[in-house]
A and B are shown apart, each in its own frame.
Chain A
Amino acid sequence: MTQSRAAVLLEVKEASRAFGGLKAVSEVSLHIDQGELIGLIGPNGAGKTTLFNLLTGVYPPSSGSILLNNESIGGMKPYRINHKGAARTFQNIRLFTAMTVLENVKIAFHQHARHSLFSSMLRLPKHFQGEEEITRKAMDILSIFNLADQGDEIASNLSYGNQRRLEIARALAAGPKLLLLDEPAAGMNPNETRDLMNLIAWIREEFDLTILLIEHDMSLVMGVCNRIYVLDRGILIADGTPAEIRNNPKVIEAYLGQEA
């Protein structure tokens, strides 16, 4: 490990992904430093979610490389990438709907469980210690998100806003270094959105996280992000500080072209 590169957490080099003839992501290169809060914006269908899917291993990149902590994760299976320290939420919420709120969070702690299958089947003392530890940690996370009193509620019974928050809580429980949020504010009203953005800023401080945030709505990310990448039709068309992005003619064109 080179000292000068230690600050870079995620580095994407010319990553592409094609579906049939369509290049959903085309030679995208980007880097995210430790502790940054980065926005990834672009009009509908720009390939933002596809890029997320490459980063989290849902499918391997057709070409190019992805490095997390200087380790290549391109083409790794999603659970391995999660173990390496990248956790995500989904644009269309993917909770374990029939499980309770608490159980949803417990799943993320599974990888850190110290009790084996064997000790669980035979109910050895290790099983009880392990389960107790998972429950305690999961409750801690839920408290942070003000969901602790709804721990025994079935996940699908939560309000829409709380389901989104639970998904973030679950991702956080995996103990990631990099948190990838796919349109976390989709479908929320302006008040909820503002609260959520504050929460994201807060957990970033609290957990020493690096965050990559997809947002469709440009104005939303301007306030919170350090830097912003703009994707349009699979191509990275701009990157820079919010102020730079706001005045970038290419970005304006991409968005206006969409509106028209």
Chain B
Amino acid sequence: MEYFIQQLINGISVGSIYALIALGYTMVYGIIKLINFAHGDVFMVGSFIGLYSAKYLAAAGLPPVVVLLLSLIISMTISACLGISIERLAYKPLRKSTRIAALITAIGVSFLLEYTGVLILGPQAKGFPDIMDKKQVHLFGSSIQVESNQIMILLTTIILMLVLQYIVRYTKTGKAMRAVSFDVEAARLMGINVDRTISATFAIGSALAAAAGVIFGMTYNSVDPLMGVMPGLKAFVAAVLGGIGSIPGALVGGLLLGTVETEISSLGFSSWRDGVAFAVLILILIFRPSGLFGKNVREKV
């Protein structure tokens, strides 16, 4: 039982990373109906920016908490700018094209980021600095161990989620985002600046992915230019599982997928882990394409 709970806790921390990435997928899909394949690579870029900022800030002798916060902020800001640029340069010219054209472009951007990364940083994995000391904490005096890192991850995820909820529900930008995702043309007629809203969506989604990247680096201590591929695909699976376009769906989908994966690995089937994630994806797509929280949409005739 305790082993099971231990795995559950591990699953939740992996799931938090999926959830943070999935949010970007889901928000972008909700607004421009595009699977932004490059999103997993923004996560990778965010992780590398986190790596270098943490290195320099720690070398400057700042306390660990400040290093962490600053690295997160720097990484999230630069990645947000990257997200906006990607949308402006690659996706915006294609807004009136077919969805296949946009999807192919997104795949192109994804590979461009990955292999530009390989070109500049080399294909080898790089060590992520230990920003904070890792401590093992025993939960409620039992044998269940929680790493201080895992607590921090959960805390960061929860705070970011709350901030996101606040932005989407109460700010002008958030309301504009909901309006655009509901009906672009109507939103435009109501005087909403659609371009700016789409940029804001990409900025927020990319910032969340970057935060996930920093957290990933701190958890696994190793980052490389192709690291975004699998988490990116998994996060997409999570978004579909939760119901694409739904913010709570992304959270639940991410946590659920993370937990299922960790349990499968702990049962000794770790080489099948990715296969299970894809099988989940296909089953959901076929039997409940709207996911757990999504709405069904049908083409109008």
Contact = CB atoms under 8 A, between A and B. Distances in A.
Judged by CB atoms under 8 Å, the answer to whether A and B touch is yes
A50 B255 CA distance: 41
Interface string B276-301: 00000000000000000000000001
A53 interface: yes
Nearest to A50: B301
A90 interface: yes
Interface magnitude class on chain B: under 10
A58 B301 CA distance: 8
Contacts of B301: 49, 53, 58, 90
Interface string A90-111: 1000000000000000000000
A6 B301 CA distance: 32
Interface string A205-220: 0000000000000000
Interface residues of A, number: 4
A90 B301 CA distance: 8
Interface in A45-67: 49, 53, 58
A152 to B, nearest CB: 25
A196 to B, nearest CB: 22
Contacts of A49: 301
A26 B215 CA distance: 55
A53 B301 CA distance: 8
A90 B300 CA distance: 12
A56 to B, nearest CB: 9
B185 to A, nearest CB: 15
Contacts of A58: 301
A58 B300 CA distance: 10
Interface string A76-93: 000000000000001000
Nearest to A182: B301
Contacts of A53: 301
A230 B301 CA distance: 21
Nearest to B298: A59
A243 to B, nearest CB: 33
Interface string A107-128: 0000000000000000000000
A253 to B, nearest CB: 29
Interface in B79-97: none
B278 to A, nearest CB: 30
A53 B300 CA distance: 10
A95 to B, nearest CB: 15
Interface string B226-264: 000000000000000000000000000000000000000
B142 to A, nearest CB: 49
A186 to B, nearest CB: 15
A78 to B, nearest CB: 10
B44 to A, nearest CB: 38
Nearest to A56: B301
A92 B301 CA distance: 8
Nearest to B299: A58
Nearest to B296: A20
A116 B301 CA distance: 31
Nearest to B295: A20
B300 to A, nearest CB: 9
A5 B277 CA distance: 57
Interface string A138-158: 000000000000000000000
Contacts of A90: 301
B301 to A, nearest CB: 5
Nearest to A53: B301
A177 to B, nearest CB: 22
Interface in A6-24: none
A49 B301 CA distance: 8
B79 to A, nearest CB: 39
Nearest to A90: B301
A199 B89 CA distance: 50
Interface string A27-53: 000000000000000000000010001
A89 to B, nearest CB: 12
A58 B299 CA distance: 10
Nearest to A78: B301
Interface of A: 49, 53, 58, 90
4 contacts: A49-B301, A53-B301, A58-B301, A90-B301
